[in-house]
Amino acid sequence: MILHGYFRSGAAWRVRIGLHWKGVSYQDVALNLRTGEQTSAQWRARNPQAMVPALELDDGTLLTQSLAILEWLEETRPNPPFLPADPLARARIRAVALAIAADTHPVQNLRVLKRVEDLAGPDAARQWAQDTIATGLAAVEALIAPHAGPYAFGTQPTLADIVITPQLFNARRFGVDLAPFPLLLAAESACAELPAFQAARPEVQADAV
């Protein structure tokens, strides 16, 4: 398999964690988001969203969208699992994953912030990112409160942790105060001990600058 990604893309990072978690070996091919490689006609012909990540299977099939790729990994390689068996627990974990992957990350991605900067300047864009991330993390801190410790949902890491870890990295990049989110920080610390999370960190990727 080939993972088309970028070392600092939060969405690609999620898939890297998932691949290592499931013990899938893969080749990493980086698209430099800063120079716009993901918007080339060549890449757009493969992924019409002009985004990363995309997972290329051995027959050339390209899977897109980090959460769809993670669900596919879970269905085709059930162990060790990202999600418990209980449907209600799965729903709660997916809700946290989506609170970040749908309502937070896409609202503060490079494309959106560039547009805010064009409309209202760099300070407005930075404030936009900070507010978007802080709002999302505050909601997730409250959503996991009845379940957390040490991971977002108890004593086993789940899909929620896969999504939380890259979002906290993004929060720091934009200078968000993380003191109000002790449960998220605890989950991140617990995950940092796990080999799959260690191998997926941006700074150890081949394209890290």
Footprint of a second copy (CB under 8 A): 48-51, 61, 63-65, 67-69, 71-72, 75-76, 87-88, 90-92, 94-95, 97-99, 101-103, 105-107, 112, 115-116, 119-120, 124, 128, 138-143
Q: Which of 94, 208 has the CB closer to a second copy?
A: 94
CB of 97 to a second copy, least distance (A): 8
Residue type, 72: W
Q: How far is the CB of 89 from a second copy (least distance, A)?
A: 10
Place of tokens 């990994």: 73
Three-state secondary structure call for residue 3: strand
Of residues 136 and 202, the one with the C-beta less far from a second copy: 136
Q: In what order do the strands lie in the sheet with 27-30?
A: 27-30, 2-5, 54-56, 62-64
CB of 8 to a second copy, least distance (A): 18
Longest dimension (CA), the chain: 48
Nearer of residues 48 and 195 to a second copy, judged by Cβ: 48
Q: Min. distance of Cβ 203 from a second copy in angstroms?
A: 26
Cβ distance to a second copy smaller for residue 30 or 101: 101
The C-alpha atoms of residue 60 and residue 203 are separated, in whole angstroms, by 28
CB 152, CB 187: distance < 8 Å: yes
Give the residue with the Cβ less far from a second copy, 29 or 63.
Answer: 63
Phi-psi region of 36 (alpha: psi -120 to 50; beta: other; left: phi over 0): left
Q: In the bound complex, what is the minimum distance in angstroms from residue 86's beta carbon to a second copy?
A: 10
C-alpha span between 145 and 176 (Å, rounded): 20
Q: Bridge-partner residues for 30, per DSSP? A: 5
